[in-house]
Chain A
Amino acid sequence: MKTAVIVFPGSNCDHDMYYALKKVMGAEVSFLWHQEPSLDDFEAVVLPGGFSYGDYLRAGAIARFSPIMQGVIRFAKRGKLVLGICNGFQILTESGLLPGALMRNENLRFVCKHVYIRTENNQTRFTKSLQPGQVLKIPVAHGEGNYFMDADGLKKLQDNNQIVFRYTSGPGVPEKEKNPNGSIDNIAGIINSEGNVMGMMPHPERAIELLLGSEDGRLVFESILS
């Protein structure tokens, strides 16, 4: 599978993502600068973490209008896979490819640590290598990961099984204390209703080797590449 990692000015997890896809998972990967207009050659694109355009105005608000995002929106409309991690997730909500918004963490702190997330939906192209309810240990690193959605929208997400990951305790209980950012319903990751665009705040690309403390993130990439 030909995959691309998009590089915005201020992306800083692009090389980690490249490494995860290429060195660890053996996928074919290219970096694509944010001014590239076309994604025609690829089957999956990843919007990596970082601080695109310095997070000015709102995280992801300016990146969303970079030339390549028009291509990403068309790419997504054609049913191709789009994965947004952290800042990538923020860009996807800003661009309207995913519903809701990511706000400042409830406790106002930048949170950088390993968390546990539970697989709420393993029937997606991003999670099919996971078991239902499987708990993953994956790091988060963000200041604006507080997922918000109004009551009607949240109900839709719940009813359509669009919540893919929730923050939980190690044994997989979605306790309020285990929610690192105040996200509504402990949401850590969601998918669009068509099932081809997923965003998540935790960084699977930082959990791909035991040396890094966890290799649970591999399962996300395995799902995408298989």
Chain B
Amino acid sequence: MILKNGILDPQGKAVNNALHHLGFTGFDDVRIGKHIEMKLEAADKNEAGKLVEEACKKLLANPVIEEYTYELIEEEK
């Protein structure tokens, strides 16, 4: 999850400034988001995707301010 484009990210801005102080002047527009790992049992990738979408919309992300992306990795049994 990450704040939508155009929404001020004060954390990102503070880290951006810190990087510049350390001499990493090439970095710009730092944005800070959240990374969540979950285990999920589902019949197939399609179903897993649906469930993750639902969880993101309902709880994990706040659609007013955040957007999300996800990746499904199949675990060997």
Contacts and interface: CB of A to CB of B under 8 A. Distances in A.
Interface string A130-161: 00000000000000000011100000000000
Contacts of B3: 103
Which range holds the interface residue count of chain B?
A: 10 to 19
Contacts of A150: 64
Chain B interface mostly helix, strand, loop or mixed? Answer: mixed
A108 B65 CA distance: 17
Chief secondary structure at chain A's binding surface: loop
Contact of A182 (B8, B11, B59, B62): B8
Nearest to A109: B10
Contact of A65 (B11, B59, B62): B59
A57 B60 contact: yes
Contact of B59 (A61, A103, A104, A105): A61
B62 A58 contact: yes
Contacts of A182: 8, 10
A99 B8 CA distance: 19
A61 B64 CA distance: 13
Given A106-B10, A108-B10, A108-B11, A148 B59 contact: no
Nearest to A99: B64
A160 to B, nearest CB: 18
Contacts of B64: 93, 99-101, 148-150
A103 B10 CA distance: 10
A57 B59 contact: yes
B14 interface: yes
A94 interface: yes
B7 interface: yes
A70 interface: no
Interface centre among B14, B60, B64 (most CB of A within 10 A): B64
Nearest to A101: B64
A106 B10 CA distance: 6
A102 to B, nearest CB: 9
9 contacts: A57-B60, A61-B59, A62-B59, A100-B64, A101-B64, A104-B11, A105-B10, A148-B65, A182-B8
Please name the 7 residue pairs, one residue from A and one from B, whose CB atoms are nearest each other, closest first.
A101-B64, A101-B65, A108-B10, A106-B10, A101-B62, A58-B62, A148-B65
Interface of B: 3, 7-8, 10-11, 14, 59-60, 62, 64-65
Interface of A: 57-58, 61-62, 65, 93-94, 99-101, 103-108, 148-150, 182
Given A105-B10, A150-B64, 13 more contacts: A57-B59, A58-B62, A61-B59, A61-B62, A93-B64, A94-B62, A101-B62, A101-B65, A103-B65, A104-B10, A104-B11, A106-B10, A148-B7
